Structure 1
Amino acid sequence: MTTTLGTASAAPGEMDTGRLEVGETRDGSSFGLPVAVINGARAGKTLYLQAASDGDELNGVGVLQRVVPQLDPAEITGTILIVGIVNYHAFQVAEHRNPIDDTKMNRAYPGNEAGTSSERIAAATFEVATQADLILDLHQGSTSRMIDEVRVRCGKRHRLHDDCLKLAKVFGCGYILDQKGPDGQLARAAPDEGIPTVDPELGGAVGWDEESIRKGVEGVFNVLNYYGFLEGETTVETQTRANGFEQYGAPGGGLISFERDLGERVRRGDLLFELTTPFGERKAEVTADSDGILWRTRRLPQVASGEYVCSVATDIDDY
């Protein structure tokens, strides 16, 4: 059966790219999101992939740029639906939020087809996503530095929690954040429709990180192999799962330097970072309150009093 997404249309064993029209720009011109349909030669499940719902989170786009050319529809069982850039307006100006309505797109799901710009885009992509059996919403830490992780956002009491957790483990970044997310996230809304969904957070800081992109590509192929879209094998390994965090702010203004690397285990009392003046005069040292893993840090060294500096995962286990 032919599968259509926007202007992309593919019969079994074919692939096509096109645009999903979602509105008009300020000069009245219509605009559409870049989409792809990969219709496998054999019937099977449907996987939905999207990237750049936050416009400056580019690693997900890098993953798709590398994954799609490697996919041969003749070798695929099932269908893969892709929206390559969700937050169209923010991507054009390399910003996090949609500048048309100053909205973080991943707080707008399931959307509203008659609402704001972000709500309309969310509604259009949600309609596509809910045709799938599995959803991967590719993200990045944006302005913060962070480890590569996969986030399960539906909450532990959700009926699909175990399915989402399994999908995160199959993706296989090595780290899983298992914590109920804010309303409006795709990974919160889609499980309510019965679809296991995770959002891989592929590294952090604004830019294009080849190592995180590589892990994302590997993760997508892990999912394709494990769930039967391809005939390869996936080795599912134990992950480090975090359920809670302690955040640390700056005790004063100045420049910070970290004494621990991302992903490094810390013990209570270990030095996390030092605060100095621009002339290197030491102002303060901040130590860990609990045992854990340095999970996330700010990107730039300059801070004002109370400004966010880093997060340590403290409620951790092996899954």
Structure 2
Amino acid sequence: MTSLGTASAAPGEKDTGRLAVGEARDGSEVGLPVAVVNGASKGRTLYIQAVSDGDELNGLGVIQRLYPRINPNELAGTVLIVGIVNHYGFQVAEHRNPIDDTKLNRAYPGNANGTASERIAAATFDAATRADLVLDLHQGSTSRMINETRVRCGPRHRLHRDCLELAKVFGCGYILDQKGPDGQLARAAPDEGIPTIDPELGGSVGWDEESIRLGLQGVTNVLTHYDLLDGTHDPDPQTRATGFEQYGAPAGGLVSFTADLGDRVERGDTLFQVTDTFGDVKSEVSADTSGVFWRTRRLPQIATGEYVCSVGTDIDRF
């Protein structure tokens, strides 16, 4: 019998339930939606979570489609799922946890006696560290972004090669291989010996069906490649960036882009223009280095110094 919260499944079974992480302001129990798929035969354990940032919903779209498709009688091993990590942020469609104004994916490995975010991080970290592989499903919040996977442990980490291989197997087409901030699950879990990646499934307001489709295929690739499901998966080469440059607005106004997501840009190429209300160009910004046009803001209006776009740099094929 394998359990996660109130979900419990014998070999060849699956179940859903709730993982208690504290109480809300009215005293009611807060439980995260969880699932266990216990394979009929033994194998690896895969842990998947989504919505640690409360407005990033594409990962939840993946889980909603994935769980009904997994037949435990065809599975070798176990899949543990937390469908919505940031309960409080999800309820109000906000990125951060409004209870403690915390970005939850900066709270790992958490503290079982700490803040609301630290308690959620501790409970989900405990679940993640039961696994052999971890997928922490994200997206570019409400920005426009390419579909990519992120390796966050850093190139000197003993698990770097394993995490990079997992990202390649997932197969979004692009990998950002750059050490992440402290407190990320993809930073903390490798320290416990578990290969972990952040698939960043595009960016949208609501759900983006293409990104969800790619995410679902990515999880299926992982299940197949690591022998939880029958079949073969030969990973395709990925475009990898090890640098990431962000560009801000030198003037306020309306931004228009001269490059599209996924385009290769060279040093000196124009990335965007800022115009006034009547279309007169106030400023033009060019790429400092060559790379891939990776991410942009969604809304056109900007103030001086506000984030506009990002370019992935130091590109190779992996």
What's the TM-score, normalizing by structure 1? 0.98
Deviation at 1:246, TM superposition (A): 2.2
Q: Distance in 1 between matches of 2:288 and 2:42?
A: 53
Q: Distance in 2 between matches of 1:174 and 1:116?
A: 37
Deviations 1:262-291 (A, max 9, x none): 000111222211110111111122122221
Q: Distance in 2 between matches of 1:279 and 1:287?
A: 22
The answer to whether residue 22 in structure 2 is matched with residue 33 in structure 1 is no
Deviations 1:112-163 (A, max 9, x none): 0000000000000100110000000000100321110100000011000000
Q: Distance in 2 between matches of 1:291 and 1:192?
A: 33
Structure 1: gaps (5+ residues): none
For residue 248 of structure 1, give the secondary structure of its aligned residue in structure 2.
strand
What residue is the counterpart of 2:121 in the other structure? Answer: 122
User: Runs of 4 or more off by more than 6 Å in structure 1?
Assistant: none
Q: Distance in 2 between matches of 1:75 and 1:132?
A: 19
| More deviation, 186-195/278-287 | 278-287
What residue is the counterpart of 1:194 in the other structure? Answer: 193
Q: Distance in 1 between matches of 2:294 and 2:2?
A: 41
Q: Distance in 1 between matches of 2:127 and 2:195?
A: 15
Q: Read off the aligned partner of 2:22 and give its amino acid letter.
A: G
Deviation at 1:232, TM superposition (A): 1.8
Identity %: 74
What residue is the counterpart of 2:177 in the other structure? Answer: 178
How many equivalent pairs are there? Answer: 318
Aligned pairs for 1:137-156 (under 5 A) are 137-156=136-155
For residue 277 of structure 2, give the secondary structure of its aligned residue in structure 1.
coil
Q: Distance in 1 between matches of 2:43 and 2:87?
A: 31
Aligned-residue CA RMSD in angstroms? 0.8
Deviations 1:290-315 (A, max 9, x none): 21110111111111111111111121
For residue 310 of structure 1, give the secondary structure of its aligned residue in structure 2.
strand
What residue is the counterpart of 1:251 in the other structure? Answer: 250
What residue is the counterpart of 2:224 in the other structure? Answer: 225
Deviation at 1:235, TM superposition (A): 2.2
What residue is the counterpart of 2:4 in the other structure? Answer: 5
Q: Read off the aligned partner of 2:161 and give its amino acid letter.
A: D
Structure 2: gaps (5+ residues): none
Aligned pairs for 1:297-308 (under 5 A) are 297-308=296-307
What residue is the counterpart of 2:291 in the other structure? Answer: 292
Q: Read off the aligned partner of 1:33 and give its amino acid letter.
A: L
8 Å contact from structure 2 (residues 176, 312) kept in 1: no
What residue is the counterpart of 2:91 in the other structure? Answer: 92
Q: Read off the aligned partner of 1:126 and give its amino acid letter.
A: F
Q: Distance in 1 between matches of 2:245 and 2:120?
A: 34
